[in-house]
Amino acid sequence: MGMTMTQKILAAHAGLDEVKAGQLIEADLDLVLGNDITSPVAIQEMQKLDKKTVFDKDKIALVMDHFIPNKDIKSAENCKCCRDFASEHEITNYFDVGQMGIEHALLPEKGLVVAGDAVIGADSHTCTYGALGAFSTGVGSTDMAAGMVTGKAWFKVPSALKFELVGKPSKWVGGKDIILHIIGMIGVDGALYKSMEFVGEGIQHLSMDDRFTICNMAIEAGGKNGIFPVDEESVKYMKDHSKKEYKIYEADEDAEYDEVYIIDLSQLKPTISFPHLPENTKTIGSFDDVKVDQAVIGSCTNGRLEDMRIAAAVMKGRKVAKNVRCIVIPATQEIYLQSMGEGLLEIFIEAGAVVSTPTCGPCLGGYMGILAAGERCISTTNRNFVGRMGHVDSEVYLASPAIAAASAITGKISAPEELGL
């Protein structure tokens, strides 16, 4: 029986000719990732091990992004722990204030992940890098500690779901709408410990930013990882950003999938996830007015340059509604600079929004936009659990940058068409 893309990558990294779903393997790692919340725990666990040196200082990335710049003493201590560790072990890829960005936007931009890699990260949205044809998945801090020391990790080989994307999405439908549609269709546990493999001619209409967004939220369906086949678009991205050699793995024709779903992109509408689960989806026009108090455009899901451009196209020449706070967060310093150079930040500020330094910020209820009781936020982030962005009696609605920007202007959840766009 043939293997999926994910299974081929895992087999290669385990030194095996083939693997099967459910098989336990030990695989070599190309990169181990941690951030300012998860790394200190991993560092403490590492101190308990007999071997206290890292396996390869070039294959560990520590990104300070969740509470950066530090918001309080505890976050400052966490970052100092990471900073001291990076200095002691001469970690090549340590990113702090001035160089940092949101980790899952920063690592591809820096060329640290390419097709065929096997990556673990002590952050659940590490599955983002499947957009490049890599196997990447989130792990706990103890697994990160073991990975930093040994350069290896244990995996149970996942079975797979195939999502065949056909057709061309309409103007204001993008990667966020596609993945929210899929999560709404299969549920938050519909892909539990499975590989979500995206194929089909519809991929040609998806930018790399769309693909990063889709893979980023594979975990919100319970997926072990999300992955796209390597095509001209992803090869160009890797050549533009990385000097690493990449390796292309393709699924066998007789690869086994637990389910096959056909998604007609031309039929999709802008999709919003209502509180308090990503699977609680509704499309524009299918619900009554929902007023919002805040709009957040950013995060590891939708803080990339294309997202900034889309939001700016909606907000240009318009004003944020009275009593609405609009927060825009470019995901990396490079995206911030590009947005500045293109005049996008000026559009946001003139519209009445604020623009933040790169940070995860409000996504996890960190800072830069915490909600009070009874407040509602339309957000391009990836989770809307109870209390995710602040008070347990607040509400988070997940949407694309186009919807979030339009909603900031109208003061209620809206599509750009309502602004005549």
pLDDT band at 51 (very low <50, low <70, confident <90, very high): confident
Domain ends where: 247, 263, 279?
263
| Torsion, CA 386, CA 390, CA 80, CA 55, rounded to 10 | 20
pLDDT of 42 > 90? The answer is: yes
Six token digits for residue 168? 């061309």
Task: State the Cα torsion 173-237-249-92 to the nearest 10°.
Answer: -120
Which residues on neighbouring strands pair with residue 247, listed in sequence order? none
Note down the domain range covering 398. Answer: 271-419
Residues 23 and 116 in one domain: yes
Rounded to whole angstroms, the Cα distance separating 170 from 167 reads 10
**Do 68 and 43 belong together in one domain?**
yes
Residues 120, 239 share a domain: yes
Q: Write out the two tokens for 408.
A: 């900031």
Q: Contact 31/113 with Cβ under 8 angstroms? A: yes
Q: Are residues 117 and 231 in the same domain?
A: yes
> What's the whole-number mean pLDDT along residues 164-170?
97
Answer yes or no: do 219 and 276 share one domain.
no
Residues 106 and 156 in one domain: yes
* Residue 195: both structure tokens together: 């590989």
In the predicted model, what is the mean pLDDT of residues 331-351? 98
Q: From the CB of residue 350, how many other CB atoms can be counted at a distance below 10 Å?
A: 14
Q: Strands (DSSP E) along 150-231, which ranges?
A: 152-156, 159-166, 194-199, 225-227
Residues 323, 367: one domain? yes
- The single-letter code of the amino acid at 287 is F
In terms of domains, do 345 and 232 share one? no
- Are 205 and 337 in the same domain? no
- Residue-level pLDDT at 29: 98
Question: Do 200 and 95 sit in the same domain of this protein?
Answer: yes
Rounded Cα distance between 421 and 417, Å, is 5
Helices assigned H by DSSP within 205-283 = 208-216, 232-241
Tokens representing 365 are 């209820």
CATH for 324: 3.30.499.10
pLDDT, tens digit, for every residue of 309-333? Answer: 999 999 999 999 999 999 999 999 9
Last residue of a domain, one of 239, 263, 287: 263
pLDDT (tens digit, 9 = 90+) per residue, 8-28?
999 999 999 999 999 999 999
Reported confidence tier of residue 100, pLDDT bands at 50, 70, 90: confident
Q: Average pLDDT in the 323-351 region? A: 98
Task: Name residue 194's beta-bridge partners.
Answer: 159
Structure tokens at 39: 């790394």
pLDDT value of position 66? 95
In this prediction, residue 199 has a pLDDT band, given cuts at 50, 70 and 90, of: very high
Q: Which amino acid is at 365?
A: G
Tell me which of 235, 263, 291 is where a domain ends.
263
d(C-alpha 121, C-alpha 38), whole Å: 9
* Tally of domains in the chain: 2
d(CA 143, CA 171): 42
Q: Are residues 387 and 363 in the same domain?
A: yes
Least Cα distance to 268 among 371, 359, 165 occurs for 165
Note whether 160 and 286 are same-domain residues: no
Distances in whole angstroms, Cα of residue 173 to Cα of each of 192, 219, 293, 316, 405: 26, 21, 24, 19, 14
Residues 271-307 pLDDT 10s: 999 999 999 999 999 999 999 999 999 999 999 999 9
Average of per-residue pLDDT values in the chain: 96
